[in-house]
Amino acid sequence: MSSSAPSRFERGHTDDLMSFLAASPSPYHAVANAAARLDKAGFRQVEETEAWDGTSGGKYVLRGGAIVAWYVPEGAAPHTPFRIVGAHTDSPNLRVKPQPDMGAHGWRQIAVEIYGGPLLNSWLDRDLGLAGRLSLRDGTTRLVNIDRPLLRVPQLAIHMDRSIHEKGLQLDKQKHMQPIWGLGNSVGERDLISFLEEESGLATGDVTGWDLMTHALEAPAYLGRDRELVAGPRMDNLLSVHAGTAALAALSGREGLPYIPVLAAFDHEENGSQADTGADGPLLGSVLERSVFARGGTFEDRARAFAGTVCLSSDTGHAVHPNYAERHDPTHHPRANGGPILKVNVNQRYATDGSGRAVFAAACERAGVPWQTFVSNNAMPCGTTIGPITAARHGIRTVDIGVAILSMHSVRELCGADDPYLLANALVAFLEG
């Protein structure tokens, strides 16, 4: 394990991460912001419905809340292997139901469904905005972001449940998590959608479909006496999306690369990845194959390229919690600002094996980045991520890594302020081989 860290903490990277988090309240916004950064680095969007050419340079595909981007160096052979950074764009939250308008006892409410596995208590008594994607009658889509106090899930006053300290807070997902957004005794069938049409400058009836979700409005911020921590929303897993985007953009124009660097940021990881925009869907394989064939490759070239490909599946992991240290493995205690973590589980909840460990260690050593290892306590269940899915679906050697955080799946998570920069540097070293 490398013990040398960069001589100076690059605060500019973490400042930029916080801007990215604030500007990306939904997966659709996240991929739009990632695409904008790649555009500035000379990448161009290609459409899945059009024929692809074999030219060199940076390209990307957008599909809903997912983006796959890649950079082809000049003269790359059709069988050139890929180096992939995988991540996911979605986070647990409250999502608007198909019939959103509801209410009771003089309160106007919005019907929401629980997405993923959020810490429900973290959503109580917070000012919430609303963001996502509107589908229009003409077949186009429009991003929407109401980034001001609009909704709130009010907690029950302690006077009405004085036993809460003894029995603990118990929240019913259906009854207790519906936010309020106003007063009134009658609820129209399109109150929310009419409001969003007006806010978006659309005509009444333009919106025929929607994918909408809530987000907390508190801005990301440095925390602590020495500002050595960062608190913010959606670090799981926009922290990795941001780092992967920065790493890929840094390689734009670089020639002589032995691999084709790729960023694959998927949607729907938090509910199993089984979607056309998820890691268990065909998107990544389709893009990689079309890249091979566009450069004149054959199925044999595709097989050779995939056999030499490695993916770093980057997702947040667990830093040791000082108040619950007994829930962690006693010999593996990842710490904030200790560098990225290698995630290991022999039951294939993570895809890392010994050869993958060597690839990650070599990248960190080249980058001068310290790194740590995470493994679950044997008595605790282990989470999973896109790594095993990517390995199994595409036959690609995959290594699960990430950044250690606290409060995972809370509306507001916490990490070391150095770690995003350290991760990005490790990813650059990995992608350039």
The DSSP string of 34-74 is: HHHHHHHTT-EE--TTSPPP---EEEEEEETTEEEEEEE-T
Instruction: Give the list of residues 6+ apart from residue 69 with CB closer than 8 angstroms, or none.
Output: 34, 35, 38, 43, 58, 59, 60, 61, 245, 248, 262, 263
Residue 164: predicted pLDDT: 87
Residue 9: predicted pLDDT: 52
Query: Cis link prior to 145 (omega < 30° from 0)?
Result: no
Strand partners, 425: none
**Whether the Cβ atoms of residue 319 and residue 310 lie closer than 8 Å to each other:** no
Strand partners, 142: 134
Residue 189: predicted pLDDT: 67
Residue 5: predicted pLDDT: 39
Considering the entire predicted model, what is its pTM? Answer: 0.95
Q: E strands along 128-286, which residues?
A: 128-136, 141-151, 180-183, 207-216, 221-223, 229-232, 260-266
In which element (H, E) is residue 250 found? helix 235-250
pLDDT one digit per residue (tens) for the chain, 433 residues = 333 433 345 789 999 999 999 999 999 999 999 999 999 999 999 999 999 999 999 999 999 999 999 999 999 999 999 999 999 999 999 999 999 999 999 999 999 999 999 999 999 999 999 999 999 999 999 999 999 999 999 999 999 988 888 888 899 999 999 999 999 876 766 799 999 999 999 999 999 999 999 999 999 999 999 999 999 999 999 999 999 999 999 999 999 999 999 999 999 999 999 999 999 999 999 999 999 999 999 999 999 999 999 999 999 999 999 999 999 999 999 999 999 999 999 999 999 999 999 999 999 999 999 999 999 999 989 999 999 999 999 999 999 999 999 999 999 999 999 999 999 999 999 999 8
156-178 tens-digit pLDDT: 999 998 888 888 889 999 999 99
What tokens were used for 100? 């959103």
- In a 13 Å sphere around the CA of 6, the CA atoms on its Cβ side amount to 17
CA angle 77, 79, 84 (to 5 degrees): 100
Residues in the chain: 433
Strand partners, 146: 130
Q: How many CB atoms lie within 10 A of CB 79?
A: 18
Tokens 């199925």, located at residue: 299
What tokens were used for 367? 């980058």
Inter-axis angle of helices 354-367 and 419-432, to 10 degrees? 110
Residue 186: predicted pLDDT: 66
Q: Give the closest residue to 249 by CA, choosing from 66, 433, 56, 427.
A: 427
170-208 tens-digit pLDDT: 999 999 999 999 998 767 667 999 999 999 999 999 999
Residue 11: predicted pLDDT: 82
Strand partners, 221: 231
- Give the Cα separation of 261 and 81 in Å (integer): 9
| Chain Cα centroid distance, residue 386 | 11
- Give the Cα separation of 174 and 176 in Å (integer): 6
- Give the Cα separation of 280 and 260 in Å (integer): 22
Residue 167: predicted pLDDT: 87
- Give the Cα separation of 343 and 398 in Å (integer): 11
